[in-house]
Chain A
């Protein structure tokens, strides 16, 4: 375009940028988004969280700010029951004494280092005189069996999952999959929907009938069945497949809105004027009309991206998600279902928290972008 070649021209994008700069919320959202992008780039190029699959912590290691719990050091085996207090035997004549002892132990546990207290109680909570030796032996055994080189950490900054993966690294790596899936699939769906909607709305008549017929077929099939069908056709598991599934099934909403906008705009005088000066159909559709309706497509894309990040969870649940050996927020949430029963909330919190921050920043930014791109709202 000419305006970009001239040095004093405040073009559409320059003006939009100026308006964005004035919007504090938009700038905050942009900073958050840029942080996510930086994180994404770093993790994709292998600088960050490349070693997420290392089992650095004990399983279900709690976040550091909570501190280690009584059961946390029990080696490689999963002992979820140990987290609970041992049941009280109602028939035990010594139960009052045990309760008293247990109270004292509880207070001691908070300050004592985990290694000393692990495995120190039998099911009735009575102290074992050999506890220190036992713990040492157990610790040596387990680390020798699983990790000959390094000892596993008892707490991690934001805890660990079932296998002892660092949750922070997992979230960063999961962001890579989720954001790529969400954004690329939303882009595919928006491009398809916009293209079909533009053709149908602009030309009308037979073309419109054809696309509407196509649309009706797509929307009349239940969504999940359609996903299963596409997945069956594609035959492969992987990120590309998920993107294709979501992209190919998600264009319908964009199509309806963009079609309606094109029907409205093709009768506008500025489009007639473009026709009068000899502009081609494609030029009128995409040079003249599209910039005026792009806010519709933009907003739809941001809604779709959010929806697709969530859809990826359902796909993972159904077994069409990311393959084993990859991590996404969806698969993290899927794992969190079982953990939550055990009271391990940190994986859920990390995944949903990261998702909430990204989604909120994304929505706020697209809102601001739409306003900034609209020259009528000044």
Chain B
């Protein structure tokens, strides 16, 4: 096998147990940005994947984990990606980088295969799922159509698709997201590959489905005695399934070791920071530790973690009272027909000043619609919402205009919620102009600077465009935009879900501080139960537009009453391993 003279930094030696399926040595990948500039995405990465094992490649966005996997598969875009000389990828005794394009393509699918994050965009929508699996078998294994179909049904059964003989003729859109990912897995294992690369296979899925897919991958790995390279941003997710964990950051391996060792005795401060950034389920510190705390210090978490207590107090006068809120969407059917879809059914809750209501649910549960309806970005089809005693849903648009500034929203995707044509200054000035806050633009600009400083943005940002900022900074801009209006209720619709774990902790700390300083009330919508538990005083669990359970957050997490809540809590990744 390959021998190299690369020396590894302490704690980063690949395991050397002889029988490795894949050996990556000193992998360097550059991307051409334009004629002169290149960007080094992977800077000398070395790791091994042994036979019959699961290896997790963990890192935040930009860490080079996906690029490393694509380099192994030979799927990097040839026109602008350069694998530097000196890199070596040995697979099953063969040096992959020395093979021709045709030889590498023959390996893909037969001996190594890959599944991707978005099953909907990875499956071809115009062919049945059966056809797509049959095609793989015929191409790589030379099966006859009939034999391939029989094998495809077996595969679908193996990955847990109910009634596989019927579902084989379904089109991808007739299957749910979880089932589509199962079909992708069936295609990937169709030729019994020795190596399966799974690139964030569960990130687009709900927590309960995520758990099922992880268990399926684990079972398949053991049954077929293959190796799995599992790529994820979520360290907790791999605690239960991986044999070895490799932590990457900025294109370099920070730490690699046995899962037990990485979780219990992390050597590198970055790994420790990643583990601590995630809101814990058993405690509620005043502030979450962020990466900088861990990276800066001597290694021990320096800040003292005072506990914060959460929960509604009985005698509080509610700021917002929502009664029987419902929302239906209508789609046209034929010429005159209408089809009703009830997105929200009779939802009622109260929100006192300075408190947080968490709304938890999976996709399609109507949690986002509740937020949008309260801000009247969608018009409710029924129910009332009393804000300081006045029904804001019954107001006409002129009356409601004054209330708009009291209810604000921070959206999920900070890349989409800021107008790319506006500078940060324009974004922050616009709401103040609309609501006549500040006497003139001079005064408003002074206010802008104040809010930018408050949310942790540099003053220089004022004249720059949103695309020049990272995700976390953009979310700060979006929060500052809301704050300029002095809102009383802030709806956070999955506001931290698109952010990396370390950035997420920073934004959560910011929201926490703002609540302490200004007495803001939050409606915190998320699919991530650990984040909601950390932020919320009371938690409302939604499913199919209905409230399943509502309780103070500590009670809900310690003694879940409804079976659905119990299932959701059981699906939190890393729950067993971390406890």
A276: contacting residue among B408, B418, B445, CB under 8 A: B408
Flag if A278 contacts B404 (CB, 8 Å).
yes
Question: In the complex the two chains form, what is the Cα distance from A279 to B485 in whole Å?
Answer: 13
Question: In the complex the two chains form, what is the Cα distance from A192 to B404 in whole Å?
Answer: 33
Q: Check if A2 is an interface residue, CB within 8 A of chain B.
A: yes
Q: Check if B101 is an interface residue, CB within 8 A of chain A.
A: no
Nearest B residue to A6 by beta-carbon distance?
A: B463
Q: With A277-B430, A277-B431, A277-B434 known to touch, is A291 a contact of B421 (CB < 8 Å)?
A: yes
A279: contacting residue among B420, B430, B463, CB under 8 A: B430
Question: In the complex the two chains form, what is the Cα distance from A275 to B397 in whole Å?
Answer: 12
| B residues near A24, Cβ cutoff 8 Å | none
Q: Check if A272 is an interface residue, CB within 8 A of chain B.
A: yes
Flag if B377 contacts A276 (CB, 8 Å).
yes
| B residues near A12, Cβ cutoff 8 Å | 421, 423
Question: In the complex the two chains form, what is the Cα distance from A276 to B485 in whole Å?
Answer: 11
Q: Check if B478 is an interface residue, CB within 8 A of chain A.
A: yes
Question: In the complex the two chains form, what is the Cα distance from A274 to B420 in whole Å?
Answer: 13
Contact bitstring B458-475, A, C-beta under 8 A = 1, else 0: 000001010100000000
Question: In the complex the two chains form, what is the Cα distance from A8 to B423 in whole Å?
Answer: 13
Question: In the complex the two chains form, what is the Cα distance from A1 to B417 in whole Å?
Answer: 21
Tally of chain B residues near chain A (CB < 8 A):
34
B419: contacting residue among A2, A3, A10, A274, CB under 8 A: A274
Flag if B481 contacts A277 (CB, 8 Å).
yes
| A residues near B416, Cβ cutoff 8 Å | 268-270
How far in angstroms is the closest Cβ of chain B from A328?
38
Among B409, B423, B429, B485, the one with the most A-chain Cβ atoms within 10 Å of its Cβ is B423
Contact bitstring B519-535, A, C-beta under 8 A = 1, else 0: 00000000000000000
A-B contact count (CB 8 A): 83
Question: In the complex the two chains form, what is the Cα distance from A12 to B421 in whole Å?
Answer: 7
Nearest A residue to B378 by beta-carbon distance?
A: A272
Q: Check if B372 is an interface residue, CB within 8 A of chain A.
A: yes
Q: Check if A206 is an interface residue, CB within 8 A of chain B.
A: no
| B residues near A269, Cβ cutoff 8 Å | 411-413, 416-417
| B residues near A15, Cβ cutoff 8 Å | 465
Q: Check if B65 is an interface residue, CB within 8 A of chain A.
A: no
Q: Check if B172 is an interface residue, CB within 8 A of chain A.
A: no
Q: With A6-B463, A9-B463, A272-B411 known to touch, is A278 a contact of B425 (CB < 8 Å)?
A: no
Flag if B413 contacts A3 (CB, 8 Å).
no
| B residues near A2, Cβ cutoff 8 Å | 425-426, 429, 441, 445
| A-B complex: 8 closest residue pairs judged by Cβ atoms | A277-B431, A269-B417, A291-B421, A278-B404, A269-B416, A9-B463, A269-B411, A270-B419
**Could you give 21 example pairs across A and B, Cβ below 8 Å?**
A2-B426, A9-B425, A12-B423, A269-B412, A269-B413, A270-B416, A270-B417, A272-B372, A273-B409, A273-B417, A275-B377, A276-B377, A276-B407, A276-B409, A277-B404, A277-B431, A278-B435, A283-B434, A288-B419, A292-B420, A376-B420
Known contacts A274-B419, A278-B434; 11 additional CB pairs below 8 A are A2-B441, A9-B463, A269-B412, A273-B411, A273-B417, A275-B377, A276-B407, A277-B430, A278-B435, A283-B434, A292-B419
B interface residues with partner A (beta carbon < 8 Å): 372, 375, 377, 401, 404-405, 407-409, 411-413, 416-421, 423, 425-426, 429-431, 434-435, 441, 445, 463, 465, 467, 478, 481, 485
A interface residues with partner B (beta carbon < 8 Å): 1-3, 5-6, 8-12, 15, 268-270, 272-279, 283, 288, 291-292, 375-376, 378
